[in-house]
């Protein structure tokens, strides 16, 4: 089928942050797969909004507000939602025509993907997605690729193998490059070749340590296996699986703040080319501010300073209740963190990474957070518990959906379905579209579909 835009199959779509950015770069999503019913409803309702007439809006909005997850939403927030979506009903074109497949990826076959998306094997331009990151996250249990959820990357690999897109984009947390995982290598005594053990053999060896693995090159049976508990071992295993499919892979860590997001959020990206094409990572457009005394650094590097929370969230830096004092901070309410990690952040800097579990707890504390409360929230290495000291009153207000969306660079008219916790979870799980957009543009540049990568990057910011 002849298409005007390069085609995209999206896996582990969540609330669609990665896809929005890739669509902004120029891709067209043909199919999106996600298991979460709330995230799928988010995607579906945004599709409904694409073709909703202004006269139909009030009925649609009343229906949404009548949903159980929106019960109890106060009038101010419901009005905020109403006006931000209603004011931009025209010119919406998100995931237009994409098939939303609400399903466990393990039960999704390549033939279904091809049929539903009207594609043929080898025709799709890009498969993109970020399998759940809990097993790899530095905040998680560090179970690496051993856990069931950690193995979902296999389904991404399986579908790339069977659909054979021209490119793939695999996104994950930076922790993947840091977590230790046991790597197994086979050393062949006949052909003398050493290879990383394939994941399917690696799994078997976990169960049956004495199992013999034949040499992948010459098939000799007497190859020996050695183990190494290596930092970044999970990434090595995943890269090896993609390389086994014949894709030429590159990987890097990109920080969303370096591309104009008002948030420090580092993500690992792996890009693979089926046809061995060259790929160049996008260059940062923003950089850490070194203060006025060294302002010339920006001229030298041609970078703009990182964007701060205050400027990104509120018109002229004015909060809805007026100007904020210098004591005002971003505060993650009652979340206990190691004593060397902050729980408040200056508003003139980018926000910290909005974690899926912490987004709903992010607040503005307009007159700061008392020392006694900071002490309560930082106990790990000092062996304290929050309940050991009496509660402290902190004036604060939770960030709204709109404010969280802005920190993540989603379009302001993006509708989210679910309770407040579920909505914050979807936003916190997402790739900032601004970051996805520059990576998508870099893939298009490598495909020869845009002339100048720098042109697209400049437009993105």
Give the per-residue contact string, 149-178, with ligand SAM (x = CB under 6 A; - = no): ---x--------------------------
Give Cα 60 distance to the centre of its chain.
Answer: 29
Q: How far apart are CA 382 and CA 408, in angstroms?
A: 33
Which CB sits closer to ligand SAM, 20 or 445? 20
Q: Which of 12, 153, 156, 247 binds ligand SAM (CB under 6 A)?
A: 12
- Closest separation in Å from C-beta 204 to ligand SAM: 22
CB 44 within 8 A of CB 456: no
Binding of ligand SAM by 36 (CB under 6 A): yes
Q: How far apart are CA 105 and CA 168, in angstroms?
A: 17
Q: Which of 163, 429, 438, 456 binds ligand SAM (CB under 6 A)?
A: 429
Q: Which of residues 190-219 bind ligand SAM (CB under 6 A)?
A: none
CB 459 within 8 A of CB 437: no
Q: How far apart are CA 217 and CA 194, in angstroms?
A: 9
Stretch that binds ligand SAM, among 9-17, 197-205, 244-252, 308-316 (CB under 6 A): 9-17
φ, ψ of residue 314 to 5 degrees: the values are -130, 140
Q: Which of 30, 39, 49, 443 binds ligand SAM (CB under 6 A)?
A: 39
- Closest separation in Å from C-beta 251 to ligand SAM: 17
What angle is formed at CA 114 by the lines to CA 248 and CA 5, rounded to 5 degrees? 70
- Pair type for strands 266-273 and 286-287: unpaired
Q: How far apart are CA 452 and CA 442, in angstroms?
A: 9
Q: Which of 431, 434, 445, 456 binds ligand SAM (CB under 6 A)?
A: 431
Which CB sits closer to ligand SAM, 161 or 348? 161
Which CB sits closer to ligand SAM, 128 or 365? 128
- Closest separation in Å from C-beta 425 to ligand SAM: 9
Q: Which of 6, 17, 260, 272 binds ligand SAM (CB under 6 A)?
A: 17
Binding of ligand SAM by 126 (CB under 6 A): no
Binding of ligand SAM by 14 (CB under 6 A): yes
- Closest separation in Å from C-beta 108 to ligand SAM: 8
Stretch that binds ligand SAM, among 23-31, 63-71, 243-251, 423-431 (CB under 6 A): 423-431
DSSP state letter for 210: T
Which CB sits closer to ligand SAM, 170 or 331? 170
- Closest separation in Å from C-beta 430 to ligand SAM: 3
Binding of ligand SAM by 430 (CB under 6 A): yes
Binding of ligand SAM by 101 (CB under 6 A): no
From its phi and psi, is residue 353 left (phi > 0), alpha (psi between -120 and 50) or beta? beta
Strand-pairing partners, residue 254, are 267
Stretch that binds ligand SAM, among 52-60, 101-109, 114-122, 222-230 (CB under 6 A): 101-109
Binding of ligand SAM by 272 (CB under 6 A): no
Which CB sits closer to ligand SAM, 171 or 258? 171
- Closest separation in Å from C-beta 47 to ligand SAM: 15
Q: Which of 26, 130, 150, 260 binds ligand SAM (CB under 6 A)?
A: 130
CB 415 within 8 A of CB 67: no
Q: How far apart are CA 86 and CA 82, in angstroms?
A: 6
Which CB sits closer to ligand SAM, 153 or 345? 153
What angle is formed at CA 357 by the lines to CA 408 and CA 359, rounded to 5 degrees? 40
Binding of ligand SAM by 435 (CB under 6 A): no
CB 405 within 8 A of CB 423: no
DSSP state letter for 264: -
Strand-pairing partners, residue 332, are 362
What angle is formed at CA 130 by the lines to CA 356 and CA 352, rounded to 5 degrees? 35
Tell me the HSE value of 242 on the side-chain side, using a 13 A CA sphere.
Answer: 25
Q: Which of 159, 148, 150 is nearest to 107 (CA)?
A: 159
Which CB sits closer to ligand SAM, 130 or 359? 130
Strand-pairing partners, residue 7, are 28
Which CB sits closer to ligand SAM, 13 or 358? 13
Which CB sits closer to ligand SAM, 130 or 308? 130
Give Dmax over CA atoms of the chain in angstroms: 76
CB 84 within 8 A of CB 401: no
Which CB sits closer to ligand SAM, 242 or 269? 269
Q: Which of 35, 268, 439, 445 binds ligand SAM (CB under 6 A)?
A: 35
- Give Cβ neighbours of residue 134 (< 8 Å, ≥ 6 apart): 140, 141, 149
Binding of ligand SAM by 25 (CB under 6 A): no
Q: What are the residues binding ligand SAM (CB under 6 A)?
A: 12-18, 33-36, 39, 104-106, 130, 132-133, 152, 429-431
């Amino acid at each position: 089928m002849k298409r005007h835009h390069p085609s995209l199959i999206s896996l582990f779509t969540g609330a669609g942050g990665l896809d929005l950015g890739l669509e902004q770069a120029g891709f067209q999503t043909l199919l999106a797969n996600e298991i979460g019913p709330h995230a799928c409803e988010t995607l579906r309702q945004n599709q409904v909004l694409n073709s909703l007439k202004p006269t139909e809006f009030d009925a649609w909005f009343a229906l949404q507000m009548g949903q159980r997850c929106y019960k109890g939403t106060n009038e101010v927030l419901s009005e905020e939602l109403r006006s931000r979506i209603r004011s931009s009903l025209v010119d919406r074109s998100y995931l237009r025509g994409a098939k939303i497949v609400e399903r466990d990826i393990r039960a999704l076959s390549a033939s279904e993907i091809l049929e539903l998306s009207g594609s043929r094997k080898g025709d799709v331009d890009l498969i993109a997605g970020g399998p759940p990151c809990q097993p790899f996250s530095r905040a998680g249990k560090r179970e690496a690729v051993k856990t069931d959820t950690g193995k979902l990357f296999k389904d991404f690999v399986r579908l790339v193998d069977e659909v054979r897109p021209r490119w793939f984009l695999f996104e994950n947390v930076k922790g993947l490059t840091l977590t230790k995982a046991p790597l197994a290598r086979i050393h062949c005594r006949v052909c003398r070749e050493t290879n990383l053990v394939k994941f399917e053999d690696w799994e078997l060896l976990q169960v049956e340590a004495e199992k013999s693995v034949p040499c992948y090159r010459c098939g000799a049976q007497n190859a020996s296996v050695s183990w190494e508990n290596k930092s970044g071992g999970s990434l090595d295993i995943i890269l090896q699986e993609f390389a086994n499919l014949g894709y030429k892979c590159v990987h890097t860590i990109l920080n969303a703040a370096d591309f104009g997001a008002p948030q420090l959020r580092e993500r690992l990206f792996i890009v693979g080319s089926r046809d061995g094409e060259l790929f160049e990572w996008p260059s940062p457009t923003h950089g850490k501010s070194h203060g006025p005394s060294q302002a010339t650094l920006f001229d030298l590097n041609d970078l703009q300073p990182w964007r701060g929370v205050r400027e990104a969230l509120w018109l002229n830096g004015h909060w809805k209740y007026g100007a904020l004092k210098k004591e005002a901070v971003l505060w993650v309410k009652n979340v206990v963190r190691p004593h060397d990690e902050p729980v408040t952040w200056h508003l003139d800097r980018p926000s910290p990474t909005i974690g899926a579990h912490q987004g709903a707890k992010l607040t503005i504390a307009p007159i700061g957070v008392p020392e006694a409360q900071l002490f309560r929230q930082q106990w790990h290495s000092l062996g304290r518990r929050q309940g050991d000291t009496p509660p402290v009153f902190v004036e604060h207000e939770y960030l709204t959906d709109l404010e969280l969306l802005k920190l993540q660079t989603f379009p302001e008219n993006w509708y989210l379905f679910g309770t407040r916790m579920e909505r914050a979870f979807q936003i916190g799980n997402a790739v900032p579209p601004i970051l996805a957009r520059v990576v998508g543009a870099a893939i298009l540049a490598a495909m020869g579909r845009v002339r100048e990568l720098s042109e697209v990057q400049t437009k993105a910011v």
